[in-house]
Chains A and B, each alone.
Chain A
Amino acid sequence: MSVTLDIKLKRANKVYHEGETVAGVVTLCCKEPLQHNGIALSMDGIVNLQLSSKSVGVFEAFYNSVKPIPLISSSIEAAKAGKIPGGKTEIPFEFPLISKGNKVLYETYHGVFVNIQYTLRCDLKRPLLAKDLSRSCEFIVHSQPQKSKIVPTPVKFSITPETLQNVRERSQLPHFLIRGHLDATSCVISQPLTGEVQVDKSDVPIKSIELQLVRVETCGCAEGYARDATEIQNIQIAEGDVGHGLPIPVHMVFPRLFTCPTLETTNFKVEFEINVVVILQDDHLITENFPLKLCRV
């Protein structure tokens, strides 16, 4: 006897904001009538923090701080114990997306050390000798648009051997001049990051120019914290020996789920940075770093 249990949300993109109602249906498909001991639905929002392996030893003391932080939790009984007729049954449900107390519903974010996730879970309890069924489904929360208006401020940059820090043998560096600008460093998350890079001259041909999007996640509290920067994605914007003096567009779409508006709380922080990486054909790697501030409007 096969039963399939599924949760379907009304919104195709599964995106909800605080104060809205998460609505959908639980669908049950079975060939024959089905006896059950109740169907329960629950909604949870949790921040999961994880310590990177390199800092585990140091921070065992602050074990408390890496406990998951619940953001929202509620449950309802979708159906009392009883019988479901054969065929397809749909049980509609609605959850108000309202946080309790002074908790803030952070935006959904899938990271390495910080995960903010909202799920709906449906449990079908069955009498003896039959396994309980359960199904969960993630939905996405977008935080409320920020009130303050962002005025994009272009950031210009210019890279030469002289501007570089952290160089081992400056004398061996070939000569180059790379200029460019980012249209803004405080970006709207739904809009791409834009700008231009232009190779004015370079003694050694360029091999590749890349944009590296980096997340900087900080876990911890006042006593101490772990800060880790990891790559989200790397986008190549130039390949090979590009023409000199020709502006090359910088364009990067912020990936969904993996980015969220820059977040700063007492227990954790999520920040983003962008690196403009120029690789020369002799494998010299030139990086220029820009911290970003993401927000939603």
Chain B
Amino acid sequence: MSVAKPNPHDSGLAHVSGVARYTDDMPMADPVHLAFGLSTVAHAKLTSVNLDVVRAADGVIDVLIAADLPAENDVSPSAHDEPMLATGKVHFVGQPIFLVVATTHRAARMAAQLGQIKYEKLPALLTIDDAMAADSKFEDAMTFQNGDADGAMTSSDNQIEGSMEVGGQEHFYLESQAASAQPNEGDVLVHSSTQHPTEIQHKVAEALGVPMNAVRVEIRRMGGGFGGKESQGNSLAVACAVIAMRLNRPAKMRYDRDDDMIITGKRHDFRINYRVGFDNSGRLQSVLFEQFAKCGWAMDLSLPVADRAMLHADNAYYLPNVRILSHRLKTNTVSNTAYRGFGGPQGVIGIERVMDHIAYTLGIDPLEVRRINYYGEGRDQTPYHMTIEDNVMPEITDELVIASDYVERRAEIAAFNAQSPILKRGIALTPIKFGISFTLTHLNQAGALVHVYSDGSIHLNHGGTEMGQGLFTKVAQVAAQVFGVGLDMVKITATDTAKVPNTSATAASSGADLNGMACKAACETLRERLSNFAAQLWQTTPDKISFTGGMVNSNGNSMTFAELAAAAYGARVQLSATGFYKTPKIKWDRFAGKGRPFLYFSYGAAVTEVVIDTLTGENRILRADILHDVGRSLNPALDIGQIEGAYVQAAGWLTTEELVWDDKGRHLTHAPSTYKIPACSDRPKEFNVKLWERGENVEDTIYKSKAVGEPPFNLGISAFMALSDAVAACGDAYPDMDTPATAERVLKAVDMEKGITW
């Protein structure tokens, strides 16, 4: 079996020896280097753009403004509302206004600072409140509802309400955005660090005014993506292509880290208001959510992000009477974009806050409130009218409660807190049920291209991109599995729009589900041809031919896979095939808020224990226990890596990763010196991550596996809830902290418990 093995990442050796090439590492003959000159104000008319000093700067070859562009000036993935270079107005601090072409990267950066821009300032909407007051929205508020929320609220036994601010998150992929372009006989070859090569191809073709077949985009690997390279690389690729064609010379561009953090979109910050009715056992009777998503200045992917937040407002819980209202707010801030979870975690954290709030109100263990509200028999319809058919949340919870010693530890923590005046501990278990499929149904398709050469070696290509998640390894395992050969027979190749066309972004955790199935289809087509040929050769039927251990066998006949490939070639059997897959069953009407947006759900749960310092608010994760369902794992090592990494990334989102803007709309945390992602010692010292052994996808997915990229990100929410639990040990009030729970927020919450305000 090739699948289900813990094979190391296919590029592991290349990574550790420094030979793995990323976009900026590609050898290139005498390229020019590009940099953007940026807006310094949040909203203004451009009254004068004087670039004389820029043109005269050392090393500058060319300087372009919007009017110099050859065709479309748009890098939006959605609404054609995102000019690459500003036209007349600027809409956020950091918006590119002009493009510098220079002999070196440094010369381009130096010159990009020298633009003499005059602005006529316009009122800037910088916050959720600003946007609501101005009714500045990308579309009308959306509503999902099921049951009679208002009636049930009125008749409910208990009611609570609250509000929380949920902070955004910088992706901080270690490789900043990068692209290059080479002219090629009137066409262009683009290398882009992108999760979405087809979109790069599409935007470059538009920008050059050429058909898509004149543009080829290739990407072997990214140095991290996390959603931040789904649309945010468009500007760099388009800029490089435009310049490469304009000067007939290779062009390359990478954002310096600070520019990257100023220009590119982030996880959407949200406000979540809730009003909840529940009975005396803590069971929900009515839930009203109002979600406010700060989308920034351009639409980008904000609508489906906000949709997914609504679609995860239930998380693992049955909301019998529910109404979810969602506002998609347009502000003069960076255009927020996809980020691992795609709005889901913001939806989930809302209902998790509700669970805790109910528990503290009733004085019972939050775990009991969670359990009593889980989906179950007769309680299986979501707020969007989909029936849950694969619920394994109670089983996972039961197993994790035992494996993590949750009950004993809760008692130990209470005892510790009783005798520790300064340090206090907290614990929480939170679950995740995460919906798998793109909510834009047509994106749920994928293609693959597989060649078998006459020596039996296999060339694999598909539409998915490798950003570190191990997708290429998993898909290669699928190919090796179908042909019964070793992984070493399969050559993994760069994603290339010239090999597999019209691909979807590698996003929504769908990479292995979609591309694995497409690869399997291609390989099965080839195996069928080879089986038919072998059956002729051996005077038997194709169903008697088996492929295993590098051999092809039938009733005592046997040859190597390589020998069969050579013989098949000699007999003029076609040894190249494409494969295609489209996800079945899904159907979704986003305006009605009804349908089946997801093929299935991924489940998991985490228990986190934390400690806080009640004098300073400093805090730390002590231990995390995770049980997660990946169905039948395609590769347990890679899956555990995804879970560990996602948890720590989410814990960072909710603790130390604080994005700060000033009242002029300037981003102040635009470097790792001020924006703090988790460091080595921030990982849980005791970190027990297990795949749920009984996991098996009830749907017909690739070898019964489940998607893994985004779902476990939500498990980091347990760290935030554990911090709330620790704060609650300092007094009687419910600590309604906003996120991220920085030391300052924790101290403020502790002092609130003690009745001290500042």
Q: Report if A and B associate in a common complex.
A: no
| Interface of B toward A, CB cutoff 8 Å | none
| Interface of A toward B, CB cutoff 8 Å | none
